[in-house]
Structure 1
């Protein structure tokens, strides 16, 4: 069986909605990444797979290929699995290589909420089941798993501290390909009395027992991320160094009222099939759409915070929907190069409709 490896990964800075990236259409955010990642291997790329959620329609993957000036022979594909789209794009590329359908793909995701033509989100669930907005769904998860506001606030503060420390240590410079003059995540800045700001934040929804606040939730953002996924022997013949090797993946679904819990069954099934436990996984990235989701996943899967989102995440830098899953993989790509002892790593994300995607990698030494 052919083995898929990741040899390069990059992301743009992440901008707030109507912020630093507000004038960039989705294909204009992806194109610089494609140019950078394809440099020197343009003729080897079989396809580009791009995840997107709120874009203008059409085939953003193909449009991005053309905008980047890549060979006209590269087709381009766009997929939508809501917030899981970027991770799903990378998963599909890995599976295509494993099946022998191709040798080299660039896969990832993009979101431009600033230029989206849609004023409202897509429907996640039929009326017969109910179609809660994401904040309401985050409250459902908190209630179901008994997650308190203090637990969510404490995790949000941990994420903020980790993100800021990672920025100060220069970790994000490795990940980011600047766009125009922008080279830093817009939402990341030093805040005084952060603990007081988080603890005093009021629930977004009215109601006596609500716990989800703006301080323990992600922001709405613009951004893109992508990775070069290659067949391992092909990469080695080209003199490229594999960093992550695809092991396996799993998609799972839960009731659409609890999308934040969808990574739980996906991760459980993935580990069981590969005869692994959480103790065997050295680094885990789960998208931080809401702190309630992360606390619930950590609680139900017995994940110690010491190996979970160790460089911070979306609660601080933001959640550009279609790109977020690819940002998780980009983060792992660089983190394993700093933590030389890491062997198995995992990326997972939950999305609207109650879908969870989990992807397991091993490091290549």
Structure 2
């Protein structure tokens, strides 16, 4: 069987909705990434696979490939698995390589909430099953799994401190490729007094709830992608593999509790490969809500020391379709700094109750 490896990874700076990236259409956000990742390989790219959630519709991956100046022979595929879309795109590219369909793919995701033509979200589930907004669903997860406001705020504070430390130490700089004049995440323009904000924040989804603006992610714009190649092909072309695709799983849970969807996906991967959480060196779970992270960590016995070590979406933001690829980009650079990692894992839960997880072996 062919082996899929990730040899390059980048993301754009992430901007707030109607913020610094508000004038960039989706294909304009993705094109710089595609141009960078395809440099010297333009004629060898089998496909560009990009996730997107809030429009504008059409095959944005193809549009982005054309905007980037890739050969007309590179087709482009746009997929939507809600917030899991960017991770699913990478998963699909890895399977295509394993199956012998191709040897070189660009995969990831993009989102521009600022330019979305849709005024409200798509339906996640039939009303007879339950179709809560994600904030209400985060409250559901907190209630079902006993996650207190204090636990959520504590994690949000930890994530914020980690994100700022990573930014101030230059750790995030390797991940980024500029978009126009923008070369850093908009959230780092000004530091906030997070402890005070967390104390003052009121519940926003239920009057007596625990989920607040302080322990929830914002709505953002951004894109991220990776270069996935067949291992021998990568080496022959002068690339150094960093992450080798090892296994993946997609799971479904009740749509009322999408935040817990990473748990069965991760459990299935661990059981199938005779691994435990102790065997995984680094884990990224998308920080849509602190309640979700705390619940997943409790259910899987994940120590915070190995989870989202450089912060995540609670600080820099959650550009829906891009977030899965942002997590892989973070892992890509962090394993190169540590050198001692063997296994790393990324997972994300999404509207409708779908969880996607990918396990990589680090070189």
Partner of 2:89: 89
* CA-CA distance at 1:104 after TM superposition: 0.2
Q: Distance in 2 between matches of 1:52 and 1:267?
A: 23
The reply on whether 1:43 has 2:17 as its aligned counterpart is: no
8 Å CA contact 2:136–2:206 kept in 1: the answer is no
2:121 corresponds in structure 1 to 121
- Counterpart in the other structure of 2:25: 25
Provide the C-alpha distance between the structure 1 equivalents of 2:336 and 2:344, rounded to a whole number of angstroms.
12
Q: Secondary structure at the match of 1:120?
A: coil
Q: Secondary structure at the match of 2:72?
A: coil
Shift of 1:200: 2.0
Q: 1:198 corresponds to which residue? A: 198
Give the aligned partner of residue 342 of structure 1.
Answer: 341
In the TM superposition, 1:223-234 aligns within 5 A as 223-234=222-233
Q: 2: distance between equivalents of 1:194 and 1:160?
A: 8
Cα deviation 1:140-195 (Å, max 9, x = unaligned): 00000000000000000000000000001101110000000000100124535321
- Measured in 2, the distance between the counterparts of 1:303 and 1:232 equals 31
Q: Which residue of 2 aligns with 1:329?
A: 328
- The structural deviation recorded for 1:130 is 1.8
- 4+ aligned runs moved over 4 Å, structure 1: none
Between stretches 188-197 and 55-64, larger displacement belongs to 188-197
Gaps of 5+ in 2: none
Question: Which residue matches 2:182?
Answer: 182
- 1:256 is paired with a residue of what secondary structure? coil
The gaps in structure 1 that reach 5 residues or longer are none
Note the C-alpha offset of 1:99: 0.6
2:124–2:255 Cα contact (<8 Å) kept: yes
* 1:70-97 Cα deviation digits (max 9, x unpaired): 0000000000000000000000000000
User: So what's the TM-score if we normalise by structure 2?
Assistant: 0.99
Q: Is the 8 A contact 1:345 1:362 kept in 2?
A: yes
Is 1:360 aligned with 2:359? yes
Q: Say whether the 8 Å CA contact 1:164–1:189 is kept in structure 2.
A: no
Aligned length: 363
What is the Cα deviation at residue 197 of structure 1? 1.3
Work out whether 1:311 is the aligned partner of 2:310: yes
Listed one character per residue, the Cα deviations across residues 314-353 of structure 1 (whole Å, up to 9, x for unaligned) are 0000000000000000000000001111110000000000
How many Å separate the matches in 1 of 2:137 and 2:154? 20
SS at match of 2:266: helix
> Residue deviations 1:194-247, cap 9 Å, x none?
212112211112422x10000000000000000000000000001100000000
Aligned equivalents of 2:314, 2:242: Cα separation in 1: 27
